[in-house]
A and B are shown apart, each in its own frame.
Chain A
Amino acid sequence: MIIKELIALLTAAWRPLAAVTHPAAVRTGMADFVVDQLDEGAPPGLIEMQTSGDVEVATLTFSNPAFGNADGSGVATAGAITDDEDATGGTIAKARLQNAAATDKVICSVTSTGSGGDIELSSVVISAGQTVGLTSLTYTAPA
């Protein structure tokens, strides 16, 4: 009896935490809303690669606009991204996708290839003066 009541209590407690889902058209709208913020002000926007302690390692530049329109499933793909051909140097741990005024819009993880980051680079240990580039970048809206 006690176990039954406990299960009922837990079930009730979990119900408000259930995730919601969004129709494809809404996801597309959300993706466009997010990536369009990178074009605010006087684009192009920036991708600032940072250490875990928020110190800049390299700064790449988006195209203007940064991303094309999201596809029907809420995925937006970035246009060409200009390399940083003279990196400051350091160990990259995260990336901040920013508008031209350097206001953060998306923050994501960066690791070496195959190590699980949102963005994976061939190496995250960067020497001063090295070139850092991104060959592809997508943003996917919440499901």
Chain B
Amino acid sequence: MQFTPLKDFLSPELKSAYCKGLSYTARPADDPAVQGPGKRLKKTRENRALLAKLLPQWVAEGKVRYGSPDVPSVGRVSGEGSVK
């Protein structure tokens, strides 16, 4: 499910910053397609579950709305990386 921040804000729970107008996607925590090393996989699932819990709260607080940014149709970027 896509969502779009209505303002910039920081989520201390997810240790991530969300930027107004950019696109984000909440994905199922139990998606079997999610792979990776054990520790990373666990963290991904935990954060996805936490995001699903926080999202309705953010909508109620007016921080985000469900859906894509206001453009007719959007291309998508998808990537993964690490910090050492």
Q: Which residues of A contact B (CB under 8 A)?
A: 19-20, 30-31, 34, 51-52, 78, 91-95, 97, 106-109, 111-126, 130-143
Contacts and interface: CB of A to CB of B under 8 A. Distances in A.
Nearest to A19: B73
A124 B22 contact: no
Interface in B38-84: 40, 43-48, 50-51, 72-84
B78 to A, nearest CB: 5
Interface of B: 3, 8, 10-11, 14-19, 22-27, 29, 40, 43-48, 50-51, 72-84
Contacts of A112: 14-16, 47
Contacts of B73: 19-20, 142-143
Contacts of B15: 112, 115, 123-125
Point out which of A91, A92, A95, A118 has the most chain B C-beta atoms below 10 A from its C-beta: A118
B27 A116 contact: yes
Given A113-B47, A115-B16, A122 B83 contact: yes
Contact of B78 (A107, A111, A132, A137): A137
Given A108-B23, A114-B51, A120 B17 contact: no
A118 B77 CA distance: 6
